[in-house]
Structure 1
Amino acid sequence: MKHITIILYGKVQSVSFRAATKAIANQLSITGLIKNEKDGTVYIEAEGDKFSLDFLVDWCKTGPDRAIVEKVEVTEGELKNYLNFEVVKKHSI
């Protein structure tokens, strides 16, 4: 198990990115969260095995049909032991 943080730049809000990512994460047994940020980025924390996380990162490079992903930043972090993958509805403060 490992933990990664992904930040997505481009046209990544209002294109069903969060819902589509949750569906992919659930299929891959990835836990964590996804949320829109006020600066227009999408923020993801994901935990799972290396293969599943690599697949998620590759998928994020294109995302759902209406998304235009310009940049993907990935950093590793400490496990937080999420129980599921959650879509956070409100912007971060």
Structure 2
Amino acid sequence: MTRRRVIVRGHVQGVFFRASCAQEAARHDVAGWVSNRPDGTVEALFEGERDSVEAMVAWCRVGPPAAVVDGVDVTEERPQGEQGFEAR
């Protein structure tokens, strides 16, 4: 199990980033959450099998079709046993 926290910068709010991220997380069987932040970025937490989490991080570097991702900051964290995935 692995856990990554990501901050996605660019035109990432108002483009269905959170909903699309939740769909991708379900497809990859990844737990965690995704949320808009007041500064216009999107923050997400992914926990699960290493390949699945890395796939989610890679997806964040592109996002949904209407998004324009300028950068992604990734932090590794200790797994906490997250269950399910929530778009906050």
When the two structures are superposed, what TM-score results if normalisation uses the length of structure 2? 0.97
Q: Distance in 2 between matches of 1:46 and 1:14?
A: 21
Q: Distance in 2 between matches of 1:32 and 1:54?
A: 14
Report the RMSD for the aligned CA atoms in angstroms.
0.7
Q: Distance in 2 between matches of 1:60 and 1:4?
A: 12
Q: What is residue 79 of structure 1 aligned with on the other side?
A: 79
- Count of aligned residue pairs for this structure pair: 88
Q: What is residue 91 of structure 1 aligned with on the other side?
A: none
Gaps of 5+ in 1: 89-93
Gaps of 5+ in 2: none
Pairing 1:1-93 to 2, within 5 Å after superposition: 1-88=1-88
Q: Per-residue deviation at 1:80?
A: 2.0
Once the two structures are superposed, what CA deviation does each residue of 1:51-89 show, in whole Å capped at 9, x if it has no partner? 11111111111110110000001110121211100011x
When the two structures are superposed, what TM-score results if normalisation uses the length of structure 1? 0.92
